[in-house]
Amino acid sequence: MQVFTLTLNQMLMMFSLMLVGFCLRKKSILPDNAGTVMSRLETYVFSPALAFITQIVNCNVLNFKKYSVFMLYSLLLILLAIALAYPLSALFVRRAKGDKAKETLKKIYCYAMAFGNFGFMGNFLVLGVWGSEMLFKYTMFTFPISVFCYGWGIPLLIPKKGRGIKATLKSIFNPPMLGLVLGAILGLFGMGKYMPDFLTKAFNSAADCMGPVAMVLAGFVIGGFEMKSLLSDKKVYCATLLRLIIIPAAITLLMKAINAPLECTLFALICFATPLGLNTVVYPAAFGTDTKPGASMAMISHTLSVITIPLMYLIFVA
């Protein structure tokens, strides 16, 4: 019941902010290019700040040694999820028209099959139900997932300018990934304690903007489409079924079959049972690619997760 209540409260909070963005678009209070502005703030300021401050606090040798088992399980799971994402995403783009549109859509679905909203949504649930100590363990568990999200997932959503190694490296070392790498390096060398207090507060404040602005942006993008067109895409419902039920169920059963630690099994369920993340809205909006699939995914999967997350927890963990 507590998991259901927290999930519902989180959804209501998210939809309240999405409604703000929706009204801003429908009432033309903000210009149409406001979505691009917000998404670029997310890409170049808020997301890198979140990655940086999280790693400079959590990333140190002692934590790596203490939670190495957690990170090993997480690494194996995200590699498995990525391996499954490629064939699963191909199923959703068979009827897409045009090679370029088909490739873009495939990348969006590939990201969606590999990553849920494991950070913002997952952190909220763990903190609310199990407290700050478990949240710290959860952030250590999700460290490898964050690395692959920034280093493999986000490059999928960013259009490459040119070809070859240079274009690939530029895509991989995107602003959030650079924030993560810099934060991890400074954290490993214990440099965080030397960072001026005003800078720490500035990064924390910017990081706190990541979630709310992403939700307002999602609502703003949704406001640019007819609601019927967002709700009528059958492929999104199939993707939501995979994301919220089939993939987390398979992963949790696998963890039980190999006798993984109970905490790792719990974290794996929460991480992979979260709804489709907002990056499929943020990055397409920032770089001028199709935002409709991501907007539809965000709206439908977050709504249904109010039921599926407590249900999955009840079946597999409680």
pLDDT digits (tens, 9 = 90+) for 79-130: 999 999 999 998 887 665 656 778 888 899 999 999 998 887 888 788 778 8
Q: How many domains does the chain have?
A: 1
pLDDT given at position 263: 93
Alpha helices by DSSP H, listed for the chain, are 2-26, 34-41, 47-58, 61-66, 68-90, 99-114, 120-130, 132-141, 143-148, 154-157, 165-172, 175-188, 197-208, 210-222, 227-231, 234-241, 247-257, 262-273, 279-287, 292-316
Residue with tokens 């942006």: 217
Overall average pLDDT of the 299-308 stretch: 86
Q: What is the pLDDT of residues 2-34, one digit of tens each?
A: 777 777 777 788 788 889 999 999 898 989 889
In a domain, 30, yes or no: no
Overall average pLDDT of the 224-240 stretch: 86
Of residues 102, 131, 153, 177, the one with CA closest to residue 276: 153
| DSSP helix/strand/coil, 264 | helix
pLDDT given at position 63: 85
The per-residue b/e assignment along 170-191, b for 16 or more CB within 10 angstroms, e otherwise, is: ebeebbbbebbbebbebbbeee
Which residues partner with 276 through β-bridges?
Answer: 116
Question: Which residues, including other chains, have CB under 8 Å from residue 188's CB and lie 6 or more apart?
Answer: 59, 60, 61
Q: What is the chain's alpha carbon radius of gyration, rounded to the nearest angstrom?
A: 19
In a domain, 197, yes or no: yes
Q: What are phi and psi of 239, to 5 degrees?
A: -65, -40
Q: What is the CATH number of the domain that holds 198?
A: 1.20.1530.20
DSSP 291: -
Cα distances (angstroms) measured from residue 90 to each of 22, 95, 102, 217, 239: 31, 10, 9, 28, 12
The more confidently predicted of residues 195 and 80 is 80
Instruction: Give the distance from CA 126 to its chain's centroid.
Output: 16
Confidence band for 229, pLDDT divided at 50, 70 and 90: confident
Residues of the chain with pLDDT > 90: what percent?
A: 30
Residue 309 contacts residue 288 (beta carbons within 8 Å): no
pLDDT given at position 259: 93
The more confidently predicted of residues 247 and 163 is 247
pLDDT given at position 167: 60
DSSP 253: H
pLDDT given at position 237: 92
Range of the domain at 302: 2-25+35-316
Q: How many residues does the chain have?
A: 318
Q: What is the pLDDT of residues 153-187, one digit of tens each?
A: 988 888 776 565 666 667 777 888 889 889 889 98
218 pLDDT more than 60: yes
* CA 81/CA 84 separation, integer angstroms: 5
pLDDT given at position 164: 56
Residue 316: HSE in the Cβ half-sphere, 13 Å Cα cutoff: 30
Residue 207 contacts residue 45 (beta carbons within 8 Å): no
Q: What is the pLDDT of residues 269-294, one digit of tens each?
A: 999 999 887 788 888 888 878 888 88
